[in-house]
């Protein structure tokens, strides 16, 4: 039996009609047209489907859309301001931390959460923070550099 759910996604109220077995990631991508979060492994290991749900990073392939009824969600699409990249996105671009881009949306969201909790995150803390993400292209060095830079820019922006 289908159920209508209502979520606030990137600041906008959105409705979707879902079967209980519909995964949240499939609802976001296929029904709401938000294809920024990717489907990689579907078993919780790669982090490509990472979103921010009620203020916490989660892997959206591991939960059902019905569970997100009433929730507040942010996807990568909600990060950039009016025609301007978010400082973390800009840092990923500047540090060449993006190759195919498949892991990037998840990495960037995790990195923005880290920057909020630990503006001066050490290299070790950065590595722990991205422990739930797999990148098959970059070898991670550029990503760690970008997150370091992004954290710096985010705390400068906040003053």
Ligand X SMILES: Cc1cc2nc3c(=O)[nH]c(=O)nc-3n(C[C@H](O)[C@H](O)[C@H](O)COP(=O)(O)OP(=O)(O)OC[C@H]3O[C@@H](n4cnc5c(N)ncnc54)[C@H](O)[C@@H]3O)c2cc1C
Contact 88, 97 (CB under 8 A): no
Contact 65, 153 (CB under 8 A): no
Q: What does DSSP say about strands 12-18 and 3-9: parallel, antiparallel, or unpaired?
A: antiparallel
44 binds ligand X (CB under 6 A): yes
Q: Of residues 74, 102, 114, 154, which one binds ligand FES by CB under 6 A?
A: 102
30 binds ligand FES (CB under 6 A): no
Question: Residue 16: which H helix or E strand, with range?
Answer: strand 12-18
Task: Count CB neighbours of 7 within 10 A.
Answer: 21
Site string for ligand X, 2-41 (x = CB under 6 A): ----------------------------------------
Q: Of residues 41, 93, 131, 141, which one binds ligand FES by CB under 6 A?
A: 41
Task: Count CB neighbours of 123 within 10 A.
Answer: 11
Give me the torsion for CA of 129, 8, 29, 80, rounded to 10°.
Answer: -60
46 binds ligand FES (CB under 6 A): yes
Q: For residue 85, is it left (φ>0), alpha (ψ between -120 and 50) or beta?
A: beta
Q: Of residues 45, 116, 118, 136, which one binds ligand X by CB under 6 A?
A: 45
24 binds ligand FES (CB under 6 A): no
Q: Nearest distance from residue 81's CB to other proteins, in Å?
A: 25
**Stretch of 29-37, 39-47, 94-102, 145-153 contacting other proteins, by CB under 8 A:** 39-47
- Contact positions vs ligand FES (CB under 6 A): 39-42, 44-49, 59, 61, 98-104, 135-138
């Amino acid at each position: 039996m289908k159920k209508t759910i209502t979520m606030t996604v990137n600041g906008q109220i959105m409705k979707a009609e879902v079967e209980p077995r519909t995964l949240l990631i499939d609802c976001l991508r296929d029904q709401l047209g938000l294809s920024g979060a990717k489907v990689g492994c579907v078993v919780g290991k790669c982090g490509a489907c990472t979103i921010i749900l009620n203020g916490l990073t989660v892997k959206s392939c591991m939960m059902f859309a019905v569970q997100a009824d009433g929730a507040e969600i942010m996807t990568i699409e909600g990060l950039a301001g009016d025609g301007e990249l978010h400082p973390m996105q800009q840092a990923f671009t500047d540090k060449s931390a993006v190759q195919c881009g498949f892991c990037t949306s998840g990495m960037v969201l995790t990195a923005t959460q880290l920057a909020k909790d630990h503006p001066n995150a050490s290299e070790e803390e950065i590595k722990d923070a991205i422990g739930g993400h797999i990148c098959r292209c970059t070898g991670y060095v550029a990503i760690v550099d970008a997150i370091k830079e992004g954290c710096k820019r985010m705390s400068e922006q906040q003053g």
